[in-house]
Structure 1
Amino acid sequence: MYEITLIILTALILGVTIAPLYPSNHWLARIWEFPRVQISAISLCLVAASFFISKTYIQLTLIIINALASLYQLIWIFPYTKLYPIQVAKSTTDSNNIPIKIMTSNVLMPNHTATKLLALVNQHQPDVLITLETDNWWETALRPVHIDYPYRVNQALDNLYGMHLYSKYPLAEIEVLNLIEEDIPSIHCYLQLTDKIKIKCHFLHPAPPSPTENATSTPRDKELLLIAKKVATKTEPTIVTGDLNDVAWSPTTRAFRQISGLKDPRIGRGMFNTFHADYFFLRWPLDHIFHSEHFELNKIQRLPSINSDHFPLLSELVYITNK
């Protein structure tokens, strides 16, 4: 029975490792790009368990399959460990440079404990706050921040894709667009740091591939790659952030970075898993920030729970004036 259990578990690990390689955008295939850390950990446990099998040929087969599966998964996630070289330099002390602090928070629309988010905003004082899944209730609940954030874009929706932007800096050329799907908005604007310095910002929240959302990842992938291609044609300072409903190590996010030329400050620093806040053993990085070469990083951190299924993400970039 012990051997049969290990064989079945190894077959399952092999199946979910191979599934994302299948040329399909169906959620049943793409969903296995998310838990690569968990799959690798289970594979290593199965390697250890295989040493207690008496039949040598079965033992060797199970060890090889699980070791290769674990190695394959680790290759994908390795850039998001501290063993990998950092992609974005640590900011230097230069009084001419301009820090910009951005907080991204998927609040979970049915969650009505706005006080926790308000407390974090008060504590960290981000220059830009982007909230996702915010409806009319949340729009009202977040009114206390208006005094500190005079520049705002409100897009309240009750379909889990509402979005609100709060900024201490002036906003210019604001566009709220449904890039791919109706009623799934994104916000695009310039953040005016000074009279001469402005940053192009894209705030995104595409729908995920899942049995309750989209059967395939095609709409999400199209939105991300559409923005990537748009950014690739520009040389201006740029920031893309939001809940992308994709993990940092997926082929789509890799393609996004390669096409856009934007950098990921998490590379070489850690995963900063923001989802799922309630289950420590099922977490991966869904909330992202990417930026052009005009920035260095002062700090990036996952903030405490606000009773959402996502943790807020706080990123402090520094605009380098001599770029």
Structure 2
Amino acid sequence: MSDDAPPADKPIPVKKAVTLGGICDVISLLALSCTWLGSLGRYGWFFDLLSHFRLQYVIVCALVLIYALIRRRTWLVLISLISLLWNAQIIHAFHQTAELTPFPGEKPLRVMTFNVLTENKNQSAAITHVMQTDADIVCLQEVDESWRAALEPLRIKYPHHLEELSEVHFGIACYTRLPMKSSEVRLFTIWRLPTLVLNLDHLGRPLTFIGTHPNSPMSAQRAHEWREQLSGIATLVAGLTGEVIVAGDLNATPWCEGMRLLRENSGLDFRSVDPVWPPTWGLNLPMMIPIDHVLTKRGLTVQKRTLGPETGSDHRSVTVEINHSTP
């Protein structure tokens, strides 16, 4: 017999297997969390950045809901359904923001805003589209010196214009056939990005048209400047007594914090019979969003809203027809 004692039993570590279902649950929760974090936009620029993608969240929530139903995850079904309905109601709030009650016999005022893209290789197609649209007021963004020659047909067509052909994607130009009393260039924030202010006459009434293009809120500093510019425009509009139209690439979706600041503090609103949520930027990308807008103040209603064709820009033009609405 051996004197050696038998070895003591060693505890066997318990390992938890990482299952595919568990990984899918975590991914689903992370995807759904963007919905709720995006609702905290007023508390931080990154949260507000997440708010822009409500259209995508509807699709994601629907996919998670289907997955949860298949896997019989009751808790995940509930969370995804609530998230889906939350995003859907936010989008639906901008499906129709006004009812059409125009003055009888009034000809609509046609307004176009179009970010033509500085490096657009098809300038002639973009300008041809603008000419054919034949709007009463045209606001173009991202026009620099390379666009000077291409813009000549608009200078000939429209009796009044104001151009700031700045570099770094923030040049802006406005053209109109309405009588123009005066015009000026406003520079907002420390970046001094140009905003054009045109004082016009429309059917015997004073009309202020403001064309603008704030920076995109892709970092803390840029988001701060973006909000400052939108807030500055809101302050400007709040002090105006006549009719006002604000148009441009606002780098803001209808449901983000920057847009809330612009609308809440100025009296501006979409006042549109047609929905304002269809995407205008990135239509060939999965992250397409609506960031090009026309807002009005004091009895002006958008009775029709049309997106233009693809003409070499990453944006589609937005053309609206505006009427005075009866009380």
Per the shorter chain, which TM-score range? Answer: 0.7 to 0.9
- The Cα of 1:22 is off from its aligned counterpart by 6.4
Residue 191, structure 1, aligned to residue 196, structure 2: no
- The Cα of 1:234 is off from its aligned counterpart by 3.2
Corresponding position of 1:155: 164
What is the CA deviation profile of residues 102-161 of structure 1, one whole-angstrom value per residue up to 9, with x for unaligned ones?
A: 111101111131222222223221111111011011122111222211211110112010
Corresponding position of 1:60: 74
- The Cα of 1:23 is off from its aligned counterpart by 5.6
Counterpart-to-counterpart distance in 1, 2:274 and 2:138: 25
Corresponding position of 1:249: 255
**Where does 1:1-323 land on structure 2 (aligned, <5 Å)?**
1-20=19-38, 21=40, 24-26=43-45, 28-53=46-71, 59-81=73-95, 86-90=96-100, 92=102, 94-95=104-105, 97-193=106-202, 196-211=204-219, 215-266=221-272, 269-279=275-285, 281-319=286-324
What SS does the aligned partner of 1:129 have?
strand
Contact 2:144 2:165 in 1 (8 A): yes
Contact 1:102 1:127 in 2 (8 A): yes
Contact 2:179 2:200 in 1 (8 A): yes
Counterpart-to-counterpart distance in 1, 2:303 and 2:127: 23
What is the CA deviation profile of residues 37-67 of structure 1, one whole-angstrom value per residue up to 9, with x for unaligned ones?
A: 11121111111111222xx5xx112212222
Corresponding position of 2:13: none
- The Cα of 1:202 is off from its aligned counterpart by 1.3
Counterpart-to-counterpart distance in 2, 1:2 and 1:238: 56
Listed as ranges, the gaps of 5+ residues in structure 2 are 1-18
Counterpart-to-counterpart distance in 2, 1:200 and 1:230: 11
- The Cα of 1:222 is off from its aligned counterpart by 1.8
Counterpart-to-counterpart distance in 2, 1:114 and 1:268: 29
Counterpart-to-counterpart distance in 2, 1:22 and 1:183: 25
Counterpart-to-counterpart distance in 2, 1:15 and 1:109: 36
Which letter maps to 2:104?
D
Contact 2:274 2:303 in 1 (8 A): no
Corresponding position of 2:3: none
What is the CA deviation profile of residues 257-303 of structure 1, one whole-angstrom value per residue up to 9, with x for unaligned ones?
A: 23222231346635232111322x32221011111132233321111
Counterpart-to-counterpart distance in 2, 1:268 and 1:315: 10
Q: Against the structure 1 CA distance between its residues 112 and 297, is the aligned structure 2 distance closer, same or farther, given a 3 Å change threshold?
A: same
Which segment is superposed worse, 127-136 or 248-257? 248-257
- The Cα of 1:316 is off from its aligned counterpart by 1.1
Which letter maps to 1:113?
N
Q: Against the structure 1 CA distance between its residues 101 and 315, is the aligned structure 2 distance closer, same or farther, given a 3 Å change threshold?
A: same
Contact 1:101 1:127 in 2 (8 A): yes
Contact 1:161 1:183 in 2 (8 A): no
- The Cα of 1:231 is off from its aligned counterpart by 2.0
What SS does the aligned partner of 1:122 have?
helix
What SS does the aligned partner of 1:178 have?
strand
Listed as ranges, the gaps of 5+ residues in structure 1 are none
Counterpart-to-counterpart distance in 2, 1:14 and 1:192: 49
How many residue pairs match? The answer is 308
What SS does the aligned partner of 2:214 have?
coil
Counterpart-to-counterpart distance in 2, 1:156 and 1:246: 23
- The Cα of 1:19 is off from its aligned counterpart by 2.5
Which letter maps to 1:88?
A
Contact 2:307 2:319 in 1 (8 A): yes
- The Cα of 1:98 is off from its aligned counterpart by 4.6
